[in-house]
Amino acid sequence: MQIALDAMAGDHGPEDLIAGALLAAEQAGLEVSLVGDEPLLQDYIDKLAPAPELLDLIKIVHASQVIEMNEHPVDAIRKKKDSSVMVAFDLLKQGKVEAVVSAGNSGATMAAGVRKLGRLNGVSRPGIASVFPTLKKPVILMDIGANVDCRPQHLFQFAVMASAFSRVLDISNPSVGLLTIGEETGKGNNLIKETFPLLQNSSLNFIGNVEGRDVFQGNVDVIVCDGFVGNICLKISEGLAEAAMMMLRDEILKSWMAKLGYLMARPAFKRFKKRVDYATYGGAPLLGLAGTGIICHGKSSSEAIKNAIIEASKMVKHNINQDIQRSLNSEENRV
């Protein structure tokens, strides 16, 4: 399976991205097309000096332009038609690859995907889903930033698409919750109140309203919200995880007894860090596109990129877009 990687994206340059592609090739046998400045990418590959058998799984596709993180998404894809992310999605459109992974400008990545691939039939707005660690099992939150202003139909479709995506996590009959300020029916703004009956009257396993504290409890499989709320939730969780690790480190350094205790409990701390590390989950799928795309954190490590590439391959193998289309058609026929 061939996956296109936007190799010019991210905060740290191509080296970690290429290293992640090599890990995906080594551990999962995936073929990866690195899209970007060919001479530059070749220099990084030479520097990493991968085994010859891995080089057979890696190819470079030249792109002369890069969309920076601070550029306006729509303007950028219009002006930079030969940017790495646009070329990557063009490869997918032509059938030369089966998915695209990018750690670049998330708005530009979504815009490029829509421009090149279009949307699945009936999808009002594609969205971004994210997998969160919880006390029990991972939870899927959608949307996390693609659509800051939504209508009830958008949130309803997010629920349908995220439920279909849950197959990648081996979840059957996923439960769906609507994120708001109280569990009681009727709590929330007009968007929530109008979305509630759409979910309640659907074939989805809708359990009702959920609150912010429920996100990390693991009692629901899919949580739906608009991109404004979802992105704040995402950034708070990232900041909280980092702050918790730093506070724990500060406390450990205060006494020799704490240091000794840390050494004894070090394996448990490592397991905890892995559970809350975004790298474990790779990237966030762009659901609703007529193709498979994954957006990664700008500061993604090689491990995160590897996991995102593997996640993209799983989405293709599970025929997630066909499932989404089938589910949307089924709900449409119920109306």
Report the predicted TM-score, pTM, of the whole model to 2 decimal places: 0.90
Amino acid letter, residue 203 = S
Tokens representing residue 261 in the block: 């205790």
Confidence of residue 334 (pLDDT cuts 50, 70, 90): low
Spatial contact of 151 and 191, defined as CB atoms under 8 Å apart:
yes
Tell me the residue type at 103: A
pLDDT attached to residue 110: 94
pLDDT, averaged across the chain: 92
What mean pLDDT comes out for the span 124-149? 92
The region, left, alpha or beta by phi > 0 then psi within -120 to 50, assigned to residue 238 is alpha
Output the pLDDT for position 35. Answer: 98
DSSP letters spanning 182-203: -SSTT-S-HHHHHHHHHHHTSS
Residue 276 has pLDDT above 80, yes or no: no
Taking residues 277-301, report their average pLDDT. 88
> Identical fold at 1-123+288-319 and 125-278?
yes
Q: What class is the 1-123+288-319 domain? A: alpha beta
Mean pLDDT confidence for 260-277: 78
Q: Which residue has the tokens 């080089």?
A: 55
SS3 93: helix
DSSP single-letter state for residue 7: T
Model confidence pLDDT, tens digit, residues 94-115? 999 999 999 999 999 999 999 9
pLDDT of 25-44, one tens digit each? 999 999 999 999 999 999 99
pLDDT at 267: 84
Is CATH 3.40.718.10 what the domain over 125-278 is classified as, yes or no? yes
Cα(197)–Cα(194) distance, rounded to whole angstroms? 6
Residue 335, pLDDT > 60, answer no
CA distance 19 to 45: 8
Ordered by start, the domain boundaries in the chain are 1-123+288-319, 125-278
For 150-181, how does the pLDDT look when each residue is reduced to its tens digit (9 = 90+)? 999 999 999 999 999 998 888 989 999 999 99
**Chain segment 5-29, per-residue pLDDT in tens:** 999 988 888 999 999 999 999 999 9
- What 3-state DSSP class applies to 82? coil
Check residues 134 and 67 and name the one with the higher pLDDT. Answer: 67
Residue 26's pLDDT is what?
Answer: 95
User: Given a cut of 70, is residue 278 above it in pLDDT?
Assistant: no
Give the integer Cα–Cα distance in Å for 240 and 153: 32
Contact 242, 234 (CB under 8 A): no
> What is the pairing mode between strands 205-210 and 222-224?
unpaired
